[in-house]
Amino acid sequence: MLSSNESQPAAVQLCYENINGSCIKTSYSPGSRVIFYLTFGSGVVLAVLGNLLVMISILHFKQLHSPANFLVASLACADFLVGATVMPFSMVRSVESCWYFGESYCKFHTCFDASFCYSSIFHLSFISIDRYIAVTDPLVYPTKFTLSVSGICITFSWFFAITFSFSLFYTGVNDDGLEELVSALTCVGGCQMAMNQTWVLIDFLLFLIPTLVMIILYCKIFLVAKEQARKIESMNSKTESTLENYKARVSKRERKAAKTLGIAVIAFLISWFPYFIESIIDAFLGFITPTYIYEILIWFAYFNSAMNPLIYAFFYPWFRRAIKLIVTGQVFRGHSSTTDLFSEQAKSLG
């Protein structure tokens, strides 16, 4: 890794003291190390346990078995894998400033990192499409976004993300033209993958295009929701038909779901956008960004994997109820999968 701008102690510490070509190790005070480990470790625990609860909730309770929720469960799987296979190793690398897990896993770690990031943004794009259809045409929505359509979206999100990421880093095309830089930065105990300008731009476009799709669709959802709210208010002063009353209640539910998932999308963009912008700037200015800036931005992005379960817990009463049943072990009782998680919501929606 690149050494940080902090001054080194009198005796330079190395990642591997008895190996030639070892990376220089940046030392932190014991107090700082404890704070770093606690901060990063809390993110790991939230990402792993929180997303595990989301997956168990959706897969266990039959009431949650819907095409849209299966997309959410698959998104939670991507965030769970970030917490399980990426964040713990990045935590040690960030605090110790050395990579102690071997060159082979360094490549796997980078591939996992990229794969799960791409998978997340593709999932969020498909979720925004799902919410757009649900809000704009709630009565026809069940026939348009079926289980098979959801399955295709999930398969594409995983297959493309994994295939692209592993192909990119295992063929070595990512650092074509950067051989001298890579050679100068390579040392024992480091783990970094250089990206040339071409692939940085492609990388950014793969982030930007789905992002624009999400922004456009959620803006349209917001406008449609405002129009629907006006119609519902005008209908309240008139005699409503049973169909119109049902449509109003369905629209209200779908708008609430769209709002919650929209917040998850905004959180994702805020978390990852600075990292992608820094990557482009760095590639075109000769990789001058100090290591500590990179570490701050990448951890800001990693913490996004821990945020979605907190968003669901805050906005979804059914998720809070599901967590209670899981934590207390009631899910192991017979017929627990048929538990009504929407009873409180059902009263409010009529």
**Banded model confidence at residue 242, pLDDT cuts 50, 70, 90:** low
Whether the predicted pLDDT of 90 surpasses 50: yes
Predicted pLDDT at 344: 53
User: Higher confidence at residue 348 or residue 40?
Assistant: 40
Phi–psi pair at 61, nearest 5 degrees? -85, 120
Residue type, 124: L
The domain total for the chain is 1
- Residue 322 in any domain: the answer is yes
Predicted pLDDT at 182: 78
Instruction: Tell me which of 21-30, 116-125, 249-258 is least confident.
Output: 249-258
Read off the tokens for 155. Answer: 């398969």
Q: pLDDT (tens digit, 9 = 90+) per residue, 22-45? A: 988 888 888 999 999 999 999 999
Instruction: Tell me which of 2-11, 93-102, 243-252 is least confident.
Output: 2-11
Q: Classify residue 5 as exposed, middle or buried by CB count within 10 Å of its CB (0-12, 13-18, 19+).
A: exposed
Q: How many CB atoms lie within 10 A of CB 36?
A: 17
- Residue 337 in any domain: the answer is no
Contact (CB, 8 A) for 126 and 157: yes
Which residue range forms the structural domain that includes residue 206? 35-330
The whole-angstrom separation of Cα 104 and Cα 96 is 19
- Residue 88 in any domain: the answer is yes
Q: What Rg value do the Cα atoms of the chain yield, rounded?
A: 23
Predicted pLDDT at 238: 56
- Residue 18 in any domain: the answer is no
Q: Who contacts 198 (Cβ-Cβ below 8 Å, separation ≥6)?
A: 176
The whole-angstrom separation of Cα 98 and Cα 190 is 6
- Residue 338 in any domain: the answer is no
**Banded model confidence at residue 165, pLDDT cuts 50, 70, 90:** very high
Sign of CA dihedral 269, 274, 275, 280: positive
Phi–psi pair at 44, nearest 5 degrees? -60, -50
Predicted pLDDT at 183: 81
Percent of the chain with pLDDT over 70: 86
Predicted pLDDT at 347: 41
Whether the predicted pLDDT of 69 surpasses 70: yes
Q: pLDDT (tens digit, 9 = 90+) per residue, 170-222? A: 888 888 888 887 787 788 888 888 888 899 999 999 999 999 998 898 888 88
CATH classification of the domain holding 44: 1.20.1070.10
- Residue 12 in any domain: the answer is no
Q: How far is CA 261 from CA 7, 48, 49, 119, 292, in A?
A: 45, 20, 20, 16, 32
Q: pLDDT (tens digit, 9 = 90+) per residue, 127-160? A: 989 988 988 888 888 899 999 999 999 999 999 9
Instruction: Tell me which of 248-252, 255-259, 320-324 is least confident.
Output: 248-252
The whole-angstrom separation of Cα 41 and Cα 82 is 13
Q: How far is CA 327 from CA 46, 64, 254, 318, 331, in A?
A: 15, 18, 28, 14, 9
- Residue 45 in any domain: the answer is yes
**Banded model confidence at residue 350, pLDDT cuts 50, 70, 90:** very low
Predicted pLDDT at 65: 93
Q: What is the mean pLDDT of residues 212-240?
A: 74
Q: What is the mean pLDDT of residues 89-104?
A: 92
Strand partners, 24: 14
Predicted pLDDT at 283: 83
**Banded model confidence at residue 246, pLDDT cuts 50, 70, 90:** low
Mean per-residue pLDDT of the chain: 85
- Residue 71 in any domain: the answer is yes
Q: What pTM value is reported for the model?
A: 0.86
Max Cα-Cα span within the chain: 84
Contact (CB, 8 A) for 350 and 249: yes
